Every structure is written in structure tokens, then in C-alpha cells.
Amino acid sequence: MSEKAIFEYFLAEAEEHLGVLEKGFLDLEKDPSDISGVHELFRAAHTLKGSASLVKLNTISEVAHSLEDVLESIRDGRFEVNRPLVDWLLHTLDSIKFLISEVVKGNPEKEDIAREVREGLDAVVAERAPAPEVAAPVEEGAVVEKRQLGRRKEDIETISNYVRVHVDNIERMMNLVGELTILKNFLVSETTGMLHLKEEINYACNRLLREIDDFSSRYAYSIPEKISYVDDLLEEFRELEFDRYDELNLFSRKLKEITDDIVEAVKSTSEFFEQFTVHTKGLDRLSSDLRELISASRMVEAGRLFQRFTRTIRDLAHESGKKVRFIVRGAETRIDRLIYERLFDPLLHVIRNAIAHGIEPPEERLQKGKPEEGRIVFVARREGNSVVIDVKDDGRGINLRAAYRQALKMGLLKRGERITKGQLLNCLFAPGFTTAPEADMTSGRGVGLDVVREAIAELNGTINVGTAEDKGTIFRLRLPLTLVIVNTVKFKTGGIEFVVPSSLVQELMDVDLQEYDAEREIIPLRGRDVPVRELSDLLGLSPMRSGTKAPAIVFNLMTGRQIALLVDEITGQEDTVIKPLGRFLEGLKYYAGVSISADGKLMPVINPLGLLEVPVGIEEQVWPEMVEIERGQNVLIVDDSLSVRKFVTILLQQKGYNVLAASNGLEALNIIDEHPVDIIITDLEMPVMHGYELLRELKRRGLSEVVPTVVLTSRGSEKHKDKAESLGARDYLVKPFDEGALLQTIRKHLKSLHLT
């Protein structure tokens, strides 16, 4: 992690702690006798000190340490709260703000400020010196007056680049971006039409100009046999003395002048349309950038979703008498909040199947030469405009023989026909399909993968499965980055315009209807027979196309399941807003929602899986080999400082460790109950349950003997160290710590389990 990123975390945390301290100091000034909130102020100062030390801001850490000592004395009754002391507290707070603002500007810390703060405290304690704001000046460059360290503009505005925004406001912004996208599509569509109109006007204008030029050249100077003078005043002139024109001549000249005016107007209009087109393209770019920015703000880390399964996996494993380790990778991958909310149930079904059908009992695993503890691994990553989530297990794999027998029993396959592995795996997603001999608490009721498939389809995603005997099974979910604005392919069938998310489309092609085997419903595609469906037949519409070719949309929806959909016309591609159908229209499996076109029309969004319920046989898809899952050590970090947790987490993840984090001892115990932990790194001073209480509870449970615990604290006295060791701590490190020393300590206690 870069120093800049770590510093940004520190700024965000410091801003919060400084706000807590300032409010608390002002409350103390109002009621000096009420010191009930001093403990919270002490913790804020303590955390601020540790965070500053972590990012090597030693002067800020030293000043915060002085603040921490005074608050500790107030809490223990050694200091009495009075006006001079509150002045010193506020003055010290301003000093920290000033130091932070200087660092933000790129200036070094002013070390003299720490000395000035200590001298001010000595004066307050001795009751012999004036308030800090009028203290005697020190060396040049030091800030000695409170008004110099007061609330500058930059104190608030440059402390942090983060603000908190309610999720409802983000949703409203995203909806407005959707409306902006629709308006942008309308402008782009209208611009295209106006450009065609401009070309027609130019063509007509050029024709008119040619005709008038020809007319003018023929009649501009014609002298008819009988001259009709325009003006009686010209009667006195002879023909050679004055140009005489009749009304036809004048009309010709006027037409020429009017035409010249029209040409200039058309030229100006063309220039306007050219500029308008440029600006429309700019609007398109800006709306896309705005959409990406707001979409990013409503993203959440996939790890938050994965963490919800820790207790479920623990309970299911316990009920089935199996041992299961849950491993998460790519937890930092960000997914859309709507996908986050709707993905829990589908993943839960996959996990239930993995534990019920995949992971073997411990004794069976030992007989196969496997560790008795099975593994379920969640891996998240971003690929292009999609998020891919793999759910793997290292169990026995899918029983293809049992799946084949069940498929025959349900009539999904015919006995004696040639089948492929991909075709057989497709049957797993059929409604009511199960290979369990009887129902129990986790499986056997025939409700599972068909629900998963439908849920993923509603999210405009796809699901695939791969399996290997005694190596395990992998389910791969591919989902769009966002559900609000989706890139779609537009097409017409039966005079109605539909759309389908482009993320589901493999390719677009033209089908030669003469090669289309209507009876077998297949078409050739690069040497393969691909099943095909006529959309108009499925929807009960009359096709409106002519000729011997028809457009087709090819989908690759599940494991090896490639299928084509015949339509009347492919009309384009655009980013659009997809709205759900609502409860009144729930159950229409053919549709995934409605889209709003550029001209304001509603277009149904086709759900390919809903249209293609009939199982079809296709070629087997080649899956990459199941990769052996390496076992990583789980390190639990317990610290109330966000900066410390983030820094240590990234440091250890770079070395291959699986890192869990808690902000206090009680939260740590809850994580230990739900997740296997190999080593614990804990602070001492934390809210709710401090480090000593955590050590005592671990010792009471007998965990301190099997799970090494290392104390990482800013308290460096022997008294603190001895107490921690008496409660079962294996090692004791003092902040600011050396990264190499921390890694060496972890390796030492993990011994042979160390990941390289």
C-alpha cells in the first residue's frame, strides 16, 4: 500500500477523532464537574496518537501523547478541570490541526510545537504562567500563540478528502443519472435525424440553385420584341443609353439574391448542427463518466457479502458432522449494492449443495489422502464490465452417474442417446432435480440450482459449473457491474422492439433460412450444430421479415449451453435504464423488466433463460483444470484504530495471509466463534472490551494454548508487558513497530504453517 493511501486513511480517521475531542472539551468547559465522557476522549486521543505514529508523524503523535496523559489524569482524578486547563486542551487540539494542515500542504512537521505544548502544560500545572495564547515566543518558526494556531480555514477543509453520504442520496443520484442517460439517448437519436434532414435540405438547396442559375443565365439580359418598361421615367432613354429590364428579368435577379441568402442560411445551419453533434458527443462522455463515478460510490466490497456466510458454513458443517474451512479471496473486489443485496440467497443454495453433496466426512477424506478439513473458497474479481464470483470446494465432485440416472428418471435425457458432460451438467439446473436419496435439513428437496439460475438471470448474469472427480466443483457466476444502467442490444420481432443485456450476448449473426433445420431446430455455426428458437413462435407473434436470411442472437448461458434466438431485425445498441416489472407482473419468466428507449417508449427486456426452458443437447465446453487450493493462515487483527487495521491487513495480505479484523475484544471473540484463527495480533487499549480482557477470556477458554496471541500496543512499560504475558500473550511489540519485526514474529509462532 502506498504511503499516500495510508495517509488518506489517517486523515479520514483523524478528522473524526478531532471532532470528538473538540466537542468533548467544550462540554467540559460548560460543566467541569461532569467527567463521565473523559474516557471516550482518552480513547480518541490514544487512537490518534497511534495512527499518527503509524504514518511516521512523530510530532503529532507526541502532542497527542501529551493530550492523552492529561485526559488520563482527569479521568483518574489527579487533575481538576478549570478554565486554564480547558484552554490548554483546546490550544493543543489547534496545534494538532495546524500540524496536519502543514503536512497536507507538503511542509515538514514543526517539532518546536511539541515543546511549546509541554511548556504550556507545565505553566498550567504550576499555576504560574499566563494562558498559552500569550506565552513567550520561542525560536523562529515555532507557533506560540493560540491565535496563530487557531481555527484556520484549512484546518477543516484539508484534513480529509472523505465525506459521508447517505445511501438513499446515492440511489437518488443514480436514478437521476438514469434519466440523464435517457435524455442523452433522445438527443443522440434526434441529432441523427436532424443530420439526415440537413443532408436533404442541402440536396434540395443545390437543386434549386442550379435551376435558378440556369433560369438567370437565360433571362437576365433578354430584350423582348415588345419592351414593357418598368418605370415611366425610363421612357426617355433609348436601349443603348440605359439597360432596360422587364418583369421577367427582375424576377430572375430576385430569385438569385434569395437563393444566395438561403445558401448562407443553410451553411450556418450546417455549422450549428456540426457543433451540436460535437456537444452531444461531449454530453454522452460526461454522462458516462458521471455514471461510472456514482456507480463507484454505491459499490461495496464483496468481502462484506462473503463474511455473512461464516456462521452459516460453521452451522451446516456442524449439523452434517463435517469439518469445513471457509476461505475468501478478492474480498476487496467491489460489487453493486443491488447485486450485493440479491446475491445472498443464490450463494446460500450453492454453499448448501457444496456441504451436502461435495465435502466428504472427515474419515472419508482421510481415506482419500485429503486433509480431514474440507475447504470452500469464494473468489471475486473484475473482468471488463463484469464481476466474476467463483465458489469452489475440494470435495468429491458431482456424481455424474447419479445425475445421469436422475436425468433419465425425469425425462430430461433419453436412454441410449449420445450425451456430453456439458449436457449432463445442464440438467442440474432443471426444476426439482436432486441426486440426494432422501431429504434432510440441507438438501434433497429438489429446490436449489434452478432457483440459483433464475435469480442470476434476474440479475442479467450467467452461471456455469465445472467438476472433477475427487477434486471438487466450481460454480462461476458472471454478473454486470451495475443493474441501473445497462448496455443492451435492441431488436424487433413481430413489429415490437425488445432489448437484451449485451453481457448475455455471445455474438450476432445472419442465419440462412435455407440451411435452417426447422424440424430439429438447429443451425450450423463454425462446424457445430447450435439449437435455435424462433422468438415470434415463443411469444405468439407474426414474423415481419422477408428474404432468405434472418438475424440471430447467440447466447452462451450456462455450462456448454449455446443457443440462438431468431428475430426480425437488429435495430442497434445503447446504454439504457432497466426497471423491474413490479409485483403485479411477477412470474413472467420471459421478461426481466422493461427498458425506456430514446424516444420514451417502453421496450420489454427479454430473459433468455426464461424463453429457453426446454433442455437442449450441445457440445461439451472445455473447463480449465481445478486448481489446487492452497491453505492460508488466518491472522486476526484486533485494534480500534482503522489506520492500524488497514495497514497491517494490507501488509499481511501481500505476504499471503488471510486477514480478519476486529475493532475491540468482544468483536474479536465473535469472529473466533465463527471463523478458524491461527494467530491473534491485539492492541491493549480499546473500547467495549480491552486487550487484557480479551487475553483473560482466551485463557479461560483454553485458546491461548493453541492460538498464539501477540500484543501490539503503544504501551512500552515492563508493567504492561508483564501483565500481558501473565494472561497468555506469546509476544509483545511496541508501536511504532517495524514491519519486518512483525512479520518475523508471526512466522515464528506459525512455524511450519508459514505461507511464502
Distance separating alpha carbons of residues 203 and 196, to the nearest angstrom = 11
Residues in Cβ contact with 238 at an 8 Å cutoff, skipping those fewer than 6 apart:
none
DSSP state letters, 266-282: HHHHHHHHHHHHHHHHH
pLDDT score at 62: 92
The total of other beta-carbon atoms located within 10 Å of residue 391's CB is: 23
Q: Do you find a cis peptide bond into 108, omega within 30 degrees of 0?
A: no
Q: Do 287 and 180 meet the contact criterion of CB atoms below 8 Å apart?
A: yes
Distance separating alpha carbons of residues 321 and 359, to the nearest angstrom = 11
Distance separating alpha carbons of residues 661 and 636, to the nearest angstrom = 6
Q: Do 388 and 382 meet the contact criterion of CB atoms below 8 Å apart?
A: yes
Distance separating alpha carbons of residues 688 and 457, to the nearest angstrom = 44
In one-letter notation, the amino acid at residue 270 is S
Distance separating alpha carbons of residues 395 and 466, to the nearest angstrom = 13
Instruction: Single out the residue of 156, 23, 43 nearest to residue 100, CA to CA.
Output: 156
Distance separating alpha carbons of residues 705 and 728, to the nearest angstrom = 8
pLDDT score at 148: 41
The domains of the chain are located at 3-157, 173-297, 301-462, 485-611, 634-753
Distance separating alpha carbons of residues 433 and 444, to the nearest angstrom = 9
Cell numbers representing residue 247 in the block? 418583369
Domain at 485-611: CATH code? 2.40.50.180
pLDDT score at 739: 85
- CB half-sphere exposure, 665, CA atoms < 13 A: 18
Sign of CA dihedral 296, 301, 302, 308: negative
Q: What are phi and psi of 276, to 5 degrees?
A: -60, -40
Distance separating alpha carbons of residues 199 and 206, to the nearest angstrom = 11
Cell numbers representing residue 532 in the block? 435455435
Residue with cell string 438447429: 522
Q: Which helix (H) or strand (E) holds 387?
A: strand 386-393
Architecture of domain 3-157: Up-down Bundle (1.20)
What CA–CA distances, in Å, run from 509 to 264, 358, 632, 719? 46, 40, 47, 77
* E runs forming strands in 526-669: 528-534, 549-558, 561-566, 569-579, 591-596, 602-606, 634-638, 658-662
Distance separating alpha carbons of residues 288 and 69, to the nearest angstrom = 52
Cell numbers representing residue 214 in the block? 440556369
Q: Do 381 and 333 meet the contact criterion of CB atoms below 8 Å apart?
A: yes
The total of other beta-carbon atoms located within 10 Å of residue 54's CB is: 22
DSSP state letters, 253-312: HHHHHHHHHHHHHHHHHHHHHHHHHHHHHHHHHHHHHHHHHHHHHTEEEHHHHHHTTHHH
In the chain the first and final C-alpha atoms are separated, in Å, by 19
The per-residue b/e assignment along 97-106, b for 16 or more CB within 10 angstroms, e otherwise, is bbbbbbbbee
Instruction: Single out the residue of 671, 697, 668, 699 nearest to residue 681, CA to CA.
Output: 668
Cell numbers representing residue 465 in the block? 459449473
CATH topology of domain 301-462: Heat Shock Protein 90 (3.30.565)
Measured at the CA of 16, the angle between CA 10 and CA 19, to 5 degrees, comes to 130
Q: What is the pTM of this model?
A: 0.52
Q: Do 259 and 212 meet the contact criterion of CB atoms below 8 Å apart?
A: yes
State whether residue 170 is helix, strand or coil: helix
Distance separating alpha carbons of residues 304 and 448, to the nearest angstrom = 23
Q: Do you find a cis peptide bond into 736, omega within 30 degrees of 0?
A: yes
Cell numbers representing residue 344 in the block? 445472498
Domain over 634-753 is classified CATH 3.40.50.2300:
yes
| Successive 10-residue mean pLDDT values, the chain, 756 residues | 68 83 88 87 88 88 91 87 89 90 87 89 68 41 40 44 64 75 76 72 75 69 51 51 56 72 76 78 77 74 84 86 90 84 88 89 92 92 86 90 85 77 78 62 51 81 86 89 77 88 84 73 73 83 81 73 84 79 67 75 80 43 34 81 83 84 89 86 87 90 88 86 90 87 88 46
